[in-house]
Amino acid sequence: MRDPGVGRVLVASLHQAIADVIPTRLGFYESFLDPEGMREGTIGLAPLYAVLSFLRQEGDGVYGRITTRAGHYAADWTAVSMSPVHRALVKAAPAWLRGRLLLRLAGQLVRSTYRGSRAVSRMRRGTASVDLRASIFCTVRERVPQPLCGYYAAAFTRLLTLFSLPARAEVMACRGTGEATCTLRVALAGTDQARRTEAA
């Protein structure tokens, strides 16, 4: 039975990233992310958790490469899904405002991965602190040595870059490693200086 909270973009981006990085294993993962279920939006939490669990066991940095690539796809598809007017307005906005608009859009991307997930952003001097709540990637039974929410860091970085706003999102804390929450630090190049210049 479908869990209505699981987003199609999340499932599709993971599927495409697996096909890119470990194509010989795609058949195995399609037993969980089956094409028919993807088309009909019937992939639920159980198969998604199974996919993430098996990816963590692949070794050789496969989990990180796949989730990073999937985050890039999610950002690309989010941008493509915007109306031409919306895209144009965001692109035309001054850098400091564009950063805030894109953080809001990235928050919508987070919500689209799973209904219970949220991103709460706080901006200070050109750097945003993003609290990721209920990250679907970081629900694990036992602590892991490396952060698991790189999908979101990759998506944030990619989305900002697509709109000519150089940025780098880094995972500062992750529930998967035992932290209380998942937190990203997003450095938005030039936004603070641009705002001070325009206000002068």
CATH code where residue 16 lies: 3.30.1380.20
Residue 125: left (phi > 0), alpha (psi -120 to 50), or beta? Answer: left
Q: Is residue 193's pLDDT more than 80?
A: no
> Residue 199: pLDDT above 50?
no
Asked if the structure places residue 3 within a domain, the reply is no
pLDDT-derived band at 194, boundaries 50, 70, 90: very low
Q: How far is residue 8's CA from residue 20's CA, in Å, rounded to a whole number?
A: 18
Domain residue limits at 40 = 8-199
- Per the structure, the count of domains in the chain is 1
16 assigned to some structural domain: yes
The mean pLDDT value for 154-175 works out to 96
Q: What is the pLDDT of residues 62-108, one digit of tens each?
A: 999 999 999 999 999 999 999 999 999 999 999 989 999 999 999 99
- Cα gap 87→67, rounded to integer Å: 25
Does 128 fall in a domain?
yes
CA 72 to chain centroid: 8
Phi, then psi, of 97 in degrees rounded to 5: -75, -40
- What predicted TM-score, i.e. pTM, was given to this entire model? 0.90
Q: What is the pLDDT of residue 4?
A: 53
What pLDDT does residue 6 have? 83
In a domain, 2, yes or no: no
Query: Residue 91 domain-assigned?
Result: yes
Residue 126's pLDDT is: 87
Inter-axis angle of helices 95-113 and 8-21, to 10 degrees?
90
